[in-house]
Structure 1
């Protein structure tokens, strides 16, 4: 039963990979498992999964290098990292390389499945009109962002974060609100995740970011509505 698409799971700890496979399969996903970085990279390129669950500490190529190579090749398949340590450096490096989310081991397989489903569900929200703030336009139906007419590549999470801000210009969102509405989980996951993604989006938007994402010190972020 694979009506929800294929998820690639890459983890060298076979009991963990088998457990994730079991829980994803129960939810109607097809699952392909690899146990090393090179095999995971090849499978991602060959199978074109709807999402990847990628351990950071892999033999051969580590998970961050697999992600980097996929992103460099223009592959923006959603990636959820697994990390064996609650190490902020691991998480930030993974997110900066284009990861969409992360889960720290030991983890609840139900929570991981919920994260996968939330990530894919966000990509189906395509009924909103084209959003425009300054030189940036965002088309939810095509999952496309243009800056002064030029296309910009964003990860799934970066896109949804930008869409949330641009959808309510002038509305100030706290980091906790953005975690809940974009990532779909509570603030215990750490608001640093939001800051890293905001920095990534700003870097990709370049000068146009000044109009689109403004920091409200001590509160959070907003898209400038042009008000004085």
Structure 2
């Protein structure tokens, strides 16, 4: 027997309980601009196996178009990719997508010339030939770090210092510094544009007490190598590292 209809002939209404919306996970997209080699293919497979969206580009001509089309979270760019001069491509990519970090892949002999092109707060580089695991790990780490990260490359104007490898470039030219000169420059880069006292430099550079005269001597050595206009003396106060 069918159940009796409700009074007035109204139909039975079963309320629909709305289900909570499940957020769709955001997938990071990486533009992998590397020559088509076995190593780059292995990196591509490793990233895709972990759910990372990857667009491979094997020629410099397609890099900028791919950046515009895919808006990647990270760009990996080989500086010896076939096609246009990759220094120009790198500059165009940075201009087109200024907040997107770049990992440049470079042979060791071109590293010094590359440093002044990198933005120290977001870009990185890997030496070629690279280990597949190393590059894949660097990409994963950079994606986790977000849009900006402290970096081993410090830049002040056209002065670029790689604190990991000890390289220094001025106006794109590599400069050779002694360990003490390098430590002095690194200490000044901690406060670029600010007056740094001789006492503070002495404490940071020398493990034993050093006189203001010794600091002055090494400041003069440093000026000869990076340019006298880049270190300004503030009489009675200390020194300022200018851009």
TM-score by length of 2: 0.50
**Mapped pair 1:91 → 2:114:** yes
- In structure 1, what is the equivalent of residue 136 of structure 2? 113
Tell me: CA distance 1:209–1:62, structure 2 relative to 1, closer, same or farther (3 Å).
same
Tell me: CA distance 1:11–1:58, structure 2 relative to 1, closer, same or farther (3 Å).
same
- In structure 2, what is the equivalent of residue 172 of structure 1? none
- Does the 8 Å CA contact 1:64/1:93 hold for their aligned counterparts? no
Larger radius of gyration: 2
- In structure 2, what is the equivalent of residue 210 of structure 1? 193
- Does the 8 Å CA contact 1:67/1:97 hold for their aligned counterparts? no
Q: Distance in 2 between matches of 1:218 and 1:96?
A: 26
**Mapped pair 1:79 → 2:66:** no
TM-score by length of 1: 0.53
Tell me: CA distance 1:99–1:83, structure 2 relative to 1, closer, same or farther (3 Å).
farther
Per residue, is there more helix in 1 or in 2? 1
SS in 1 for 2:83: coil
Displacement, 1:192?
Answer: 3.5
Which structure 1 residue ranges, 5 or more long, are not aligned? 124-142, 144-155, 162-174, 180-186, 197-207, 220-228
- Does the 8 Å CA contact 1:54/1:82 hold for their aligned counterparts? yes
Tell me: CA distance 1:62–1:29, structure 2 relative to 1, closer, same or farther (3 Å).
farther
- In structure 1, what is the equivalent of residue 35 of structure 2? 12
- Does the 8 Å CA contact 1:6/1:30 hold for their aligned counterparts? yes
- In structure 2, what is the equivalent of residue 169 of structure 1? none
Which structure 2 residue ranges, 5 or more long, are not aligned? 1-24, 152-160, 172-190, 207-243
RMSD over aligned CA atoms reads 3.9
Displacement, 1:211?
Answer: 4.3
Q: Distance in 1 between matches of 2:193 and 2:55?
A: 42
Tell me: CA distance 1:26–1:211, structure 2 relative to 1, closer, same or farther (3 Å).
farther
**Mapped pair 1:31 → 2:65:** no
- In structure 1, what is the equivalent of residue 73 of structure 2? 50
Number of residue pairs matched by the alignment: 152
